[in-house]
């Protein structure tokens, strides 16, 4: 019995397919339908395989030429059929329509983003003014012993504008402010 070197052994479906210049599925089909000499360890089909280059070469010389040529023709046509789903004109029209749609949606997104930015600027100004007024009131309250008017509900939560002011002692306001 002769020992074979590693470069004569193909250790996977991918190596067999590469050696034959075909796709993996084609090689697997040839193994089932045409008897391509591939061995599956453990007898499991389509699992890990080994094949010997010299056996594959012998098989290629014996295999029906017309069957292999038919397989070659089908493989050569397959990518063309997928690409030609649409004609050049149809693809250009679809591309143009999709590009137009993308441009319009981008413009809408930019407009909405600008509107949101403006609304955030207004909100920021209002918040800054509220903080300034609160600081002024607290500074004034610290300098005097008089209670300040704060709009709060019975449970101590701030009320909406227009509510009737409630007189509160400064220490309770400071206590409520530090608690929240």
The reply to whether 1 falls in a domain is: no
Q: Tell me, what's the pLDDT at 122? A: 94
Q: Which residue has the higher pLDDT, 158 or 57?
A: 57
Q: Report the alpha-carbon distance of residue 161 to residue 173 in Å, rounded.
A: 18
CATH of the domain at 18: 1.10.10
For the entire predicted model, the pTM comes to 0.37
pLDDT at position 119 is: 94
Q: How many residues are listed for the chain in this entry? A: 180
Domain match, 90 and 138 both: yes
Q: Cα–Cα distance between 39 and 48 in angstroms, integer?
A: 9
Q: Which domain holds residue 61?
A: 6-83
Same domain, 76 and 100: no
- Domain total for the chain? 3
Q: What's the rounded Cα separation, in Å, for the pair 32 and 26?
A: 10
Which phi and psi (to 5°) does residue 72 adopt? -60, -45
**Res 114 pLDDT > 90:** yes
Confidence tier at 54 by pLDDT (50, 70, 90): very high
Identify whether residues 12 and 79 lie together within a single domain. yes
Cβ-based neighbours of 8, under 8 Å, separated by 6 or more? 52, 53, 54
């Amino acid at each position: 019995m002769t020992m074979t070197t590693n470069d004569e052994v193909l250790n996977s479906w991918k190596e067999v397919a590469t050696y034959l210049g075909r796709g993996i599925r084609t090689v697997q089909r040839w193994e089932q339908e045409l008897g391509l000499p591939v061995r599956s360890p453990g007898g499991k089909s389509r699992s890990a395989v080994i094949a010997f280059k010299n056996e594959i070469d012998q098989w290629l010389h014996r295999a029906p030429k017309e069957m292999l040529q038919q397989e070659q023709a089908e493989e050569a046509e397959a990518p063309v059929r997928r690409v030609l789903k649409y004609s050049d004109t149809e693809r250009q029209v679809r591309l143009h329509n999709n590009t137009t749609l993308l441009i319009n949606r981008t413009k809408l997104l930019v407009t909405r983003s600008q509107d949101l930015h403006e609304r955030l600027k207004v909100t920021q100004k209002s918040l800054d003014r509220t903080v300034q007024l609160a600081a002024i009131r607290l500074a004034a309250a610290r300098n005097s012993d008089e209670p300040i008017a704060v709009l709060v509900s019975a449970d101590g939560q701030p009320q909406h504008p227009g509510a009737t002011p409630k007189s509160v002692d400064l220490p309770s306001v400071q206590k409520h402010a530090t608690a929240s």
